[in-house]
Amino acid sequence: MTDLERHSYDVVVIGAGGAGLRAAIEAREQGKRTAIICKSLFGKAHTVMAEGGIAASMGNVNSKDSWQVHFRDTMRGGKFLNLWRMAELHAKEAPQRVWELETWGALFDRTPDGRISQRNFGGHEYPRLAHVGDRTGLELIRTLQQKIVSLQQEDEREFGDPEARLRVFAECTITEILKEDERVAGAFGYWRESGRFIAFDAPAVILATGGIGKSFKVTSNSWEYTGDGHALALKAGGSLVNMEFIQFHPTGMVWPPSVKGILVTESVRGDGGVLKNAGGQRFMFDYVPDVFRDKYAHDEAEGDRWYTDPDNNRRPPELLPRDEVARAINSEVKAGRGSPHGGVFLDVASRLPAETIRKKLPSMYHQFKELAGVDITAEAMEVGPTCHYVMGGVEVEPDTGAAVGVQGLFAAGEVAGGMHGSNRLGGNSLSDLLVFGRRAGLGASQYLDGLDGTRPAIAGADIDQAAAAAVAPFNGDGSENPYTVHTELQMTMNDLVGIIRRSEEMQDALEKLEELKRRAAAVTVEGHRQFNPGWHLALDLDNMLLVSQCVARAALMREESRGGHTREDYPLMSAEWRQVNLICRADGDDVSVTRQPLPSMPDELLQLFEREELNKYMTDDELTVLPEGDA
């Protein structure tokens, strides 16, 4: 190909958010020549929208916190469907990753005695989120970018070239993972500005592409979140795990329509904000599930006391895990007790002084003032559920991030599944991407060290095939527009596979997705490959449709309600279904979903829980095999 740009690296990292940058830093520090592929502008990764903090059991605000408590909270939040090994590694290593950021220049808020400050968040027993106001994700990305620059400066001093071992390819999209036999050989993509094709020869590829939210109409996710990494893994022969679990963050903006879905950080509730319906009632006390009832306040007075005396009071139900709060808001709106624009009210104005709100929540104050004309120091916010995060993702080996079934492919961050089970706790995403970003970078480096000396090679025919697939939208019959198909996809997923699910509606969704796939094959774009948003969307559509099929098929198969998956026709959790992971694989132009046993938790971790709590999640057979005195 005459217009093909080609590069050779040891490791290619697809995605430049927190997981991708931490993976790239680790690979570079292991001596590997590393490329970072950034779909958007460098520094604009979706990680910057994670506002509340980084969950890590440092015990700076409450010395009772520990990795064991963090592990328990994570398993409870995920309704015990988490891959226990990932939850264990995450809880143990998160504090070190936060302290590491501080040594790299992160400027955290401080406690009065100078330690990193930590705040309360939903589902966390103790104040655990290290934070920078409500702009923590931005500080994390700034810090990791600065570390990238410092490593490039080292390479310039050593090699005379700052990009000798670490280079960023910004505004570049990968469309295919290329293999030789069963091993990864590289990746193929294009420059978004020019449309020029680019290929990377590399025996190790790390996926760090984030989530799938742009398949839904109402989402907090930015335009990049089109399921690219999930689809790349499927097409390369990998598998996805538990894609039915979609987190609808309970508090997104609902008004005006132009900003619907934009995130309202959970730290508003962590710092004292409360949820009220149209009648002014704090309704969350009516929605505490039995499995959490003994851990949450039974009345407003106790909930309010908890903020100043957490040792002698239980936390308010506004700080239940996100799935519980989102369902409660949805129920209030359906019952006719919602706000004028279809949400509920989040009130911090009556709870904290205006000066404190502006200090602790500067981004939220600015966001509502500029976008909605609301002064959150004087009036309540209107909020409602918004598609925010996917708990499911690429099936990986916990310790290395290696994708199951594909040699040389790795994944970290939101694109990887297993860590969060059926529901993610707020703040666990930022520590997740740091812990497993590092582990994926290390795992890829160790994989390279173990190769027999021969690097897999990309076949010319595979590049030609990838290029032909990329330009196919220019050769359509003119009958379909990518924007129309995308809009209908978003409506289908939002309305039929959304926060409350029913068998008949998901069957309808699967039929609609098949129709949309046929229409997507006929999508036609005009013009040329130089910056052509219609062409970019046409290519993204292929990924979104493939991943949406996985979500809908898995959601139809799982006949229970758990975490981010709520079935109106199966409203209860099932102890038998807790033992099952649903694995999605590409099957030609279709996808298939199969059951797979969930790995059993070892006894030493089971002993961290009370037997009474395990009774709520596990089968009688599981409980009877526990050694006497355990749990």
Q: What is the pLDDT of residue 624?
A: 79
CB 571 within 8 A of CB 560: no
Question: Which DSSP category does 602 fall into?
Answer: P
The per-residue pLDDT for 52 is 87
pLDDT at 459 over 60: yes
Tell whether the model's pLDDT for residue 393 goes beyond 90: yes
Kindly state the percentage of the chain with pLDDT values over 70: 99
What's the whole-model pTM score? Answer: 0.93
CA–CA gap between residue 433 and residue 415 (Å, rounded): 10
User: In this predicted structure, what is the pLDDT of residue 323?
Assistant: 87
Catalytic option among 249, 322, 424, 553: 249
**Protein fold of 250-386:** Flavocytochrome C3; Chain A, domain 1 (3.90.700)
pLDDT at 630 over 60: no
Q: What span, in angstroms and rounded, lies between the C-alpha atoms of 155 and 298?
A: 59
Reference 274, options 262, 282, 286, 263; nearest CA is 282
How far apart CA 166 and CA 160 sit, in angstroms, is 13
The residues pairing with 278 across neighbouring beta strands, listed in sequence order, are none
Tracing tokens 């130089």 back to the chain, one arrives at 530
- The reply to whether 249 belongs to the active site is yes
Ordered DSSP codes for 516-534? HHHHHHTB---S-SSS-HH
Q: What is the mean pLDDT of residues 149-159?
A: 97
**Where do the domains of the chain lie?**
250-386, 475-578
Q: Among the options 70, 97, 269, 455, which is catalytic? A: 269
And the tokens for 461? 């025919």
For 85, 206, 542, 568, the CA distances from 229, given in Å and listed in that order, are 23, 9, 12, 31
Please report the pLDDT score of residue 628 as a whole number: 57
Cα–Cα dist 105/605, whole Å:
35
Residue 484 predicted with pLDDT over 70:
yes
Residue 123, pLDDT > 70, answer: yes
Say yes or no to pLDDT of 626 above 80.
no
379 touches 349 (CB < 8 A): yes
**pLDDT tens digits along 221-232:** 989 999 999 999
Q: In this predicted structure, what is the pLDDT of residue 401? A: 98
269 labelled catalytic: yes
Residue 410 has pLDDT above 80, yes or no: yes
Average pLDDT of the segment spanning 341-354: 94
Domain 475-578: which CATH number of 1.10.630.10, 3.40.50.12280, 1.10.10.10, 1.20.58.100: 1.20.58.100
H helical segments located in 281-341:
300-306, 322-334
249-286 pLDDT tens trace? 999 999 888 889 998 988 899 889 999 999 999 999 99
**CB contact at 8 A, 363 and 135:** yes
pLDDT, the chain, mean: 94
φ/ψ region of 257 (left if φ > 0, alpha if ψ in -120 to 50, else beta) reads alpha
C-alpha span between 9 and 180 (Å, rounded): 16
Query: If you average pLDDT over residues 452-462, what whole number do you get?
Result: 91
Average the pLDDT over 400-421 and give the result: 98
301-339 pLDDT, tens digit per residue, is 999 999 999 889 999 999 998 889 999 999 999 899 999
Residue linked to tokens 């009832």: 293
Sequence letter at residue 553: R
Provide the percentage of residues in the chain whose pLDDT is more than 90: 87
The winner for highest mean pLDDT among 219-223, 385-389, 400-404 is: 400-404
51 confidence band (pLDDT: 50, 70, 90)? confident
- Chain-centre distance for alpha carbon 453: 36
